[in-house]
Amino acid sequence: MTETTDTRWLDADEQETWRAFLWTSRLLNEALDRQLQRDSGMPHAYYMILAMLSESPGRARTMTELAEIVYSSPSRLSHAVNRLEEAGWVRRTKHGADRRTTIAELTDAGYAALAEAAPGHVAEVRRHLFDPLTRDRMLEFRETLHALLAVLDPDREAPCARELG
Using CB under 7 A as the binding rule, whether residue 43 contacts DNA is answered as yes
Site track 3-42 with its own copies (rule: CB under 8 A), x = hit: x---xxxx--xx-xxx-xxxxxxxxxx-x-----------
Q: Please, which residue, 92 or 128, has the CB nearer to DNA? A: 92
Residues 6 or more apart whose Cβ sits within 8 Å of residue 43: 33, 36, 37
DSSP character at residue 130 = I
- The backbone region for 107, taken as left when phi is positive above 0, alpha when psi lies in -120 to 50, beta otherwise, is beta
Query: What single letter denotes the amino acid at residue 74?
Result: P
The residues that bridge with 105 in the sheet, in sequence order, are 60, 91
Cβ–Cβ under 8 Å, residues 78 and 92: no
**57 or 73: CB nearest its own copies:** 73
Question: How many chain residues bind its own copies (CB under 8 A)?
Answer: 54
Q: Which of 70, 76, 73, 37 is CA-nearest to residue 56?
A: 70
Q: Is 56 in the site for DNA (CB under 7 A)?
A: no
Q: How far apart are CA 35 and CA 67, in angstroms?
A: 24
Query: Cβ distance 53 to 93 under 8 Å?
Result: no
Per CB under 8 A, which of residues 60..99 are in contact with its own copies? Answer: 71
The item of DNA, its own copies, none sharing an interface with residue 140, based on CB under 5 to 8 Å by kind, is: its own copies
Which residues ranging from 9 to 38 are in contact with DNA (CB under 7 A)? 30, 33-34, 37
Query: Which stretches of the chain bind its own copies, using CB under 8 A?
Result: 3, 7-10, 13-14, 16-18, 20-29, 31, 48, 71, 118-120, 122-123, 125-133, 137-142, 144-153, 159
Query: Which stretches of the chain bind DNA, using CB under 7 A?
Result: 30, 33-34, 37, 42-43, 45-46, 62-65, 67, 72-83, 92, 95, 97-103
